[in-house]
Amino acid sequence: MEDIFKEGKEIVKELEKALDNLDREAIVPLIKDMMQEIKAKYEDEKVLGYLDEVEESLITHLDRFKPAKEKAPEGPIALLPVIKPEDEFWEYRINVVVDNSETKTVPIVIETNPSYKNLFGTIERVAERSGVWRTDFNRIKAGSFLKANDGYLVVNALDLLLEPGSWQSLKRALKYRQVEIGAYDPFYLLGASAMKPEPIETHVDVVMIGGSHLYHLLYQLDEDFKRIFKVKADFDSVMPKDDQNIHQYACFIKKICDDDKLLPFEKTGVAGVVEFGVRVAGTQKKLSTRFTIIADLVRESSYWAQNAGSKVVKHEHVEKAIEEWIKRVSLIEDKIQEMIEDGTIMIDSDGKVVGQINGLSVYDLGEYAFGKPTRITARTSMGRAGVINIEREADLSGRTHNKGVLILGGYLRGKYAQNKPLTVSASICFEQSYSGVEGDSASSTEVYAILSSLSGIPLRQDVAVTGSINQKGDIQPIGGVNEKIEGFYQVCKANGLTGTQGVMIPHQNVKELMLRNEVVDAVKDGKFRVYPVKSVDQCIVILTGMKAGERKEDGTSFWGFSGRI
């Protein structure tokens, strides 16, 4: 019986070997033919090498693909469920890391959250029931950098710098032109992985979007930045106001209306949006490219048109939207205007006063800026102190304002102290100003106050003045001209328009005028005036009604206004 048993085992082995050979004879040719078809599609040596390994593994492990005979467990173990693996053939799966088959042009990826995982991918891990972390090659996930291979990756510079590990890894990938996919594990003991995928060769053009301040910081402080990012492109906040760009504005309005299902814009409505774009740009020759603000205006204008029962958006609806927006953000302006009307802030809009004049200031709140008049006074006496800037003495004057006062002193010396010293002490002050003064746009205004105090000739209080001055007495352009004019107009309107009130502005600022319709109508009707001026002497005529005077050939005396000095 023992001999028969041994002989039977040998027969079984020969039978199994014969069956294996039969399987090989029947199946191996099929495997080779199918693998040959797949190999014919690829030329890459690494891919062909991988397919050879797959073919060898399939032939070697044919038993894995035979149906297994399951035996029901006996005894108490039969009550336990049979745990099967999630995927018996996981090693034969293909992990498609990047699929750009549907991309018709070069890939352009905009990464809004440039974390290390989103940029460079990761190796995911899962916890088994035993508590052990497990991973395999099928859990290798690509990031947006690899998805943008042979194309462009767009990221926000500030967001990129704030993400741990992203900036250094991006520089490394661009410097060596390859990506190593791996999990970002700041705590190595807790998240170590034994997998190390082969580096992938890449060619990606990265576009970083950010402000000029951040660019200059990186350029100065990071040596790699200037070597890697060689092309800088500045985008202006304005563009020329020509027919083509106005047409593009109209197309942009149409796009917003279609996307948000808004009411269509009539020609006058488009014109109102274009006017607003010109005002935001700050000059009549430019249009603003701050399209976020323009889009908000389009949406709100459509709302007010719908609220009024109109089927199209017209100019008055755009004006209504602008008016309502100003109401929402103009609390501080309203409070200052209220204090002026109550007399808490003392501003005169009629009459004449010696050594006193209305200057114009702009309050910039970020999203909204407005102008209001400020009383500027000057007092003079005999002495050698020169021009005393009270704001500077009280540490309330900015550097630009200090420079304007010094230029003012240079003008006075050049004009009136050629043959004898200017023995005068003159103090100038911004009345009821407690938060600081910056800018030189009031330097010409301060000159008129000092000259009025010296000569005893009163200045008109119904004319406000703005404009900086150079040492030769020329009036130079300033900023915020529209806000300044509108600010003084509101004060005059509250006190009653007389027809003589107005504002003197540098003649260079005329091209920047984009006033509200209310102010434009008042100027047309002769109720308000805007005086463009070029020199101090021209301004003196408007403020005093007297000629400024001329120096005689011997340079010793003046006539007209200056003859009183």
Give the start-to-end residue ranges of the domains of the chain.
2-92, 108-228, 238-329, 338-564
Q: Pull the structure tokens for residue 305.
A: 């048109």
Which tens digits make up the pLDDT trace of 342-372? 999 999 999 999 999 999 999 988 888 999 9
Q: Is the pLDDT of residue 506 over 90?
A: yes
Strand bridging mode 502-506 / 529-533: parallel
pLDDT at 16: 75
Mean pLDDT of 530-555: 85
Q: Which comes out higher in pLDDT, residue 366 or 86?
A: 366
Diameter of the chain measured on Cα atoms: 150
pLDDT at 556: 56
pLDDT at 73: 55
Q: Is the pLDDT of residue 281 over 50?
A: yes
Mean pLDDT of 525-549: 91
- Where residue 194 falls among pLDDT bands split at 50, 70, 90? low
Same fold, 108-228 and 238-329: no
pLDDT at 186: 63
Q: How far is CA 235 from CA 119, 149, 232, in A?
A: 26, 26, 10
Q: Is the pLDDT of residue 200 over 80?
A: yes
- Where residue 497 falls among pLDDT bands split at 50, 70, 90? very high
CATH number corresponding to 338-564: 3.30.230.10
CATH number corresponding to 238-329: 1.10.8.60
Q: Which amino acid, 42?
A: Y
Q: How far is CA 98 from CA 101, 326, 407, in A?
A: 9, 50, 66
Q: How far is CA 94 from CA 36, 89, 137, 138, 195, in A?
A: 18, 11, 9, 7, 17
Q: Which CATH class is domain 108-228?
A: alpha beta
What whole-number distance in Å separates Cα of residue 204 and Cα of residue 98?
Answer: 14
Q: Which amino acid, 183?
A: A
Q: How many CB atoms lie within 10 A of CB 498?
A: 12
- Where residue 156 falls among pLDDT bands split at 50, 70, 90? very high
Which tens digits make up the pLDDT trace of 25-79? 778 888 888 888 888 888 888 888 888 888 888 888 777 777 665 555 555 544 4
Q: Which of 553, 479, 551 is nearest to 565 (CA)?
A: 551
Q: Is the pLDDT of residue 187 over 70?
A: no
pLDDT at 80: 46
What whole-number distance in Å separates Cα of residue 150 and Cα of residue 108?
Answer: 9
What whole-number distance in Å separates Cα of residue 219 and Cα of residue 157?
Answer: 13
pLDDT at 154: 96
Which tens digits make up the pLDDT trace of 131-154? 777 777 888 888 999 999 999 999
- Where residue 562 falls among pLDDT bands split at 50, 70, 90? very low
Q: How far is CA 215 from CA 67, 163, 224, 237, 535, in A?
A: 64, 17, 13, 17, 41
